[in-house]
A and B are shown apart, each in its own frame.
Chain A
């Protein structure tokens, strides 16, 4: 079975600091990768996704992520965080074939707190 690891469970930053959230997955085949965000009291929203092509993916609200196949990683970055980025961030992985087609495997999430 696939697994997704998010090593940072809680990250605390000051506004304007740079952010990098780690995500590693275990699956040797072709994957589709996602970052979702959950703001307090709101539903999970898609930040960005990678299916193929340029491994540097840009998403909404200034976020980007880089797929490094050799490291099985898909880290999320933002050069300068804002107080409004306080939320929980989930990395998710999908295999593009086989019995798990259509199923997302999620990491346990990283809670980001940004102090104004």
Chain B
């Protein structure tokens, strides 16, 4: 059991569409980070949410946005999808902005 749950597990979208991915953190965790893992690469940091605010952001365009809810769950939104957005999107949670991360199984996004 990952503790961190992500939905959906797989998603197929067309270029130009928008997508929303969801994450529930491990019990007791209040910080959620999102990572993108392209095929054959390591995860790349997208952003981190804590206290319902974006606290840090990686080198991703504004098409990538997020939200954190009062129950600490989080959403990742990607607008105007490009073929290059095809990847595994990982959610990771931690306590109090800690860096010991617990990862979910990820959402596999395919853009056609």
A interface, CB within 8 angstroms of B? 4, 6, 32, 36, 42-46, 49, 90, 92, 94, 99-109
Residues on A with beta carbons closer than 8 Å to the beta carbon of B87:
none
- Assess whether A106 is in contact with B44, with CB atoms less than 8 Å apart: yes
B1-40 vs A, CB cutoff 8 Å, 1 = contact: the mask equals: 0101000000000000000000000000001010100001
* Closest chain B CB from A22 CB (angstroms): 14
What are the residues of chain B within 8 A of A101 when measuring CB–CB?
56, 97
Given A103-B48, A104-B45, A108-B40: A42 and B100 interface contact (C-beta under 8 Å): no
Q: Are A44 and B103 in contact (CB under 8 A)?
A: yes
Q: How many A-B residue pairs have CB under 8 A?
A: 56
Q: Which residue of A lies closest to B91 (CB)?
A: A43
Q: On chain B, which size bracket covers the interface?
A: 20 to 34
* A109-B42 in contact (CB<8A): yes
Interface positions of B from 46 to 90, Cβ below 8 Å from A:
48, 55-56, 58, 90
User: Can you name the residue of chain A whose Cβ is closest to the Cβ of B103?
Assistant: A44
Kindly list chain A residues whose C-beta atoms are within 8 Å of the C-beta of B43.
44, 90, 104, 106
Max chain B CB contacts within 10 Å: which of A32, A104, A109?
A104
Q: B82-109 vs A: 1/0 string, CB under 8 Å? A: 0000000010100001011111111000
User: Dominant SS at the A interface?
Assistant: mixed
If A44-B90, A100-B56 touch, does A108 touch B42 (CB 8 Å cutoff)? yes
Q: Check A106–B105 contact: CB distance below 8 A.
A: no
Give CA–CA (A4, B43) in the complex, Å: 11
Cross-chain pairs A/B with CB under 8 angstroms, 20 sampled: A4-B42, A42-B105, A43-B4, A43-B106, A44-B43, A90-B43, A99-B56, A100-B56, A101-B56, A102-B48, A102-B55, A102-B97, A103-B33, A104-B99, A106-B43, A106-B44, A107-B42, A109-B40, A109-B41, A109-B42
